[in-house]
Amino acid sequence: MADYINLGRKRVTLHGRRIKDATDGVERFYPYARLEVSNQTDREWQVIGDSPPATAGVSVAIAMVPIKIGVANPKAKSNPSCTIDMKLFKKFVGKFRYGRIVLKDGGTSQMLGLDDLLPPKDAFR
């Protein structure tokens, strides 16, 4: 799950799919995105796949409104959460250092340390 923080002044429309979760039956919004990996933080990003599958769920467009960060306002608008299928990164852990998500409608996530996607070393097995 991820939050879309629109720091601009205009609405941004994200296209994607509304997909019902098989485990809890909740419908979630999956924006169309490509997943990329690199060993450098600023270049040589390689596309490894897309999220979500083009055949899952129903095609939708969601408006993301501008959000004012740092303003204490209990009535502030919030945007719907976004879900990204991160399983594609799994086979690249140990081969690449970083991952990122690039929305097809614009916008890029923060970089992810691919090792951070592994369970903690002291996790129960």
Q: Note the pLDDT tens digit of each residue in 88-113.
A: 999 999 999 999 999 987 777 788 88
CA distances from 70 to 4, 15, 39 (A): 15, 28, 33
Per-residue pLDDT band at 76 (split at 50, 70, 90): low
Specify the 3-state DSSP secondary structure of 88. Answer: helix
Record the pTM: 0.79
Per-residue pLDDT band at 117 (split at 50, 70, 90): confident
Does the pLDDT at position 46 exceed 90? yes
Contact assessment for residue 69 and residue 8, using Cβ atoms and an 8 Å cutoff: no
